[in-house]
Amino acid sequence: MRKLMKQNSKLPILAILLVTLGSALFFLIAAAFFSYQNMTSQAMAPYVSIVNNNLGAKTKLLHIKSSLQDFLVEPSAANLQKTQIRTRIMRASIENDLRSHATIELHSDYGDFAQLDAMTQGLHQLTSRVAALKEVTSAEAVMPSLISEIDALYDRWNTYTSEVILQVEHNQSDFLLTREQFYHQQHWYYLAILFVSILIIALVFKLYIDQVRLTRFTQQQSLDMQEAKRAAEASAETKSKFLANISHEVRTPLNAIIGLSDTDHYLNASEQIREYIDLIHRSGKHLLALMNDILDISKIDSGKLTLEQVEFSLKDIVDDTRVLFHERTQTPGVESFIITPQDCDMIFYGDPLRLFQIISNLCSNAIKFTHEGQIKVAFTVQNRGPNSVLQICVSDTGIGISEAQLQKVFDEFVQADDSTTRKYGGTGLGLAICQKLTNLMQGTLRIESELNRGTHVTLSLTLPLLHAPHFEPKPPCPSDILVHNDGSEYYSTIQHDVNRLALLADHTESYFVYYHHNQRLIANILPTLYEEAGGRKLLVITDIEQQQNLESSAKVEYLSKPYVSYRMYELLLGKPTPSLATITMPHKTYLDLQVLLVEDVHINQLVATHFLARLGIVPDMANNGEEALARMRKQAYDLVLMDIQMPVMDGLQAMKVIQAEQLAKGAMIIAVTANVFEEDEKKYRQAGFDDILAKPFNVDALQSVIETHCLTNKVKSRTV
């Protein structure tokens, strides 16, 4: 393997060498081709044309001379005419030879075309004089001089052609030498081409052999990886089962710890006892949250977490965030603000549970790491329609994070540094879960922070907006709505909201808004506030604990912290605003509801029985599936709460018998289980269970199941 890796490391070098040799081969072939083209463009010396032009012209001159001499031997008018005809024919033939394209090109290259042209003109003039003769006597007198001129022209032509032939012979010698050199050069070209071709073939063969080896190695690696993948999947499945078992074993005692440590059970106990019990209850919920975080990370990493797609209200998310801030213990002096759109009653389509899980983690971090200043959660909606962007910004003035630490805050089980873990605790899963859930929702999560200056986290999700209330803002009435200005940053936040909300001009009353952010009792400063309000109705934003000791008055209205934009907007317009108490579900009693509790663990029986008793229900009890079947054969029930893992007969086996014998006529059967994996829930629903109640549960979750499945006409309920 190491040898193959070493060979693979040479592949780039071999590839470069192959390209270089290919380029060299191309240039060699091109050079050979162009040299061949250059050689073929050099024609052999035109001996035939030279001989034809030379001998033909000379012979025809002699024919003209002979014709003139024949006339002198036997002068007569007939011979004169005959001589003129022959002279004209010879002249035309000579001129045709000497003025052809081949002759002109030949003499331009090897002779003197001007001299040739002069001789041609002389011949033309001489023959023209012969043609001009009319009488025999005058012809006899002129003929000797004409013959002399022809002799002179012949000698001149003979000398000229001899020089041309000499030049052609010299050029022929050069051509033969060049051709010999060309053949010698071509041999070297062919040898070089052959050598480079052999090198290329050898290199290609080398690459082919390496590729074959690499392919075999890759195939073997693929087989090894598939085997490793199967082993990893088996290991992951084992880990998943182990985690499920651990989760089940932890949730079972947690069900008792959280259920039996509810402070509502200990209203008559001393303050110290209630404080201890509350500490146990919070510790149990913290451990449950830790288990849920670990399970969520496991589900996401294994691809088993699926998002729910349902309609949900932005107002509900805001209210849940408000309750979150109320439930979490904040450092004194830290103020919380929730900024919302004016028209908060928007209906989106998505997964509200996972969305709030992200918000909860971000807000929990802000609460944990902020000791002074403020925490602000801002909800904004952009591009309203099918592709609306819901943006949630959580900013604080806490300890912040350095730029170097920002690079690892989204890693699992990692916090900014070890000192953070020692001082504040935590597992380092919160932001990792937020990032993974955001990716599942195809959104973005951006964090900006500066050490000791605070943190700003922005969550952006693209969600379909199904409904938004029609809202037409009118000009604000600043004279009717005044905000108490104490110079703090809280004033600017509320004043900005008043301006942004564009309050309707026809609201019913004038208000003076006061945000209480100090330790003084509201009761002690109310007279001063009444005076400062100047006849306006007083709106006080304060802690719910401060409101409990105040008498109701028509002059003042209260909003509970944390501050929420839409709640102040609704109050100023005379709309009812729910208090924190009305957000939670009121407990009811269900007097005629027949319930069967199937549970094998005694302590879990105590918890469930106590919760049912708070709802006015006294259940029948069964310790396993077999006992449950015996009771269901004798009596009809409205609700069956059935544990899954039990001795003798478990819940799934009991469910098969119930369906086979049709024992659940009109009854809702709920699986009560600590197995909270999605595949487990899917298996239980496929088995016939109507719903799943996850351990540990509280009385609100139990009441929600009853309200959802069992509130029929025969079930009587009354609010207490």
Tokens of 71: 């006339």
Report yes or no: 391 and 377 within 8 Å, Cβ to Cβ. Answer: no
pLDDT at site 714: 45
- 454 φψ region: left (φ > 0), alpha (ψ -120 to 50), beta (else): left
Name the band, by pLDDT with cuts 50, 70 and 90, for residue 505. Answer: very low
Report yes or no: 618 and 594 within 8 Å, Cβ to Cβ. Answer: no
The alpha carbon torsion through 321, 326, 331, 336 (nearest 10 deg) reads: 50
Tell me the C-alpha distance between 439 and 462, whole Å.
12
Cβ neighbours for 528, distance < 8 A, ≥ 6 positions apart: none
681 or 102, greater pLDDT: 681
Task: Quick: pLDDT tens for 342-386.
Answer: 878 899 999 998 999 999 989 988 988 888 888 999 999 998 888
Tell me the C-alpha distance between 385 and 570, whole Å.
24
Task: Quick: pLDDT tens for 41-82.
Answer: 555 555 555 555 555 777 888 888 888 888 888 888 888 888
First to last CA, the chain: 77
Amino acid at 91: R
The CATH number that domain 588-719 falls under is: 3.40.50.2300
Determine the average pLDDT of the residues in 478-499. Answer: 77
In angstroms, what is the C-alpha Rg of the chain?
A: 55
Report yes or no: 296 and 431 within 8 Å, Cβ to Cβ. Answer: no
Location of structure tokens 């080896």:
213
pLDDT at site 601: 87
Location of structure tokens 């199904």:
466
Q: Which of 383-387, 521-525, 685-689 has the lowest mean pLDDT?
A: 521-525
Cβ neighbours for 491, distance < 8 A, ≥ 6 positions apart: 483, 484, 485, 515
Query: Of 33, 20, 23, which is closest to residue 185 (Cα–Cα)?
Result: 33
Q: What is the pTM of this model?
A: 0.60
Tell me which CATH homologous superfamily contains domain 310-467: Histidine kinase-like ATPase, C-terminal domain (3.30.565.10)
Task: Quick: pLDDT tens for 638-665.
Answer: 999 999 989 999 999 999 999 999 988 8
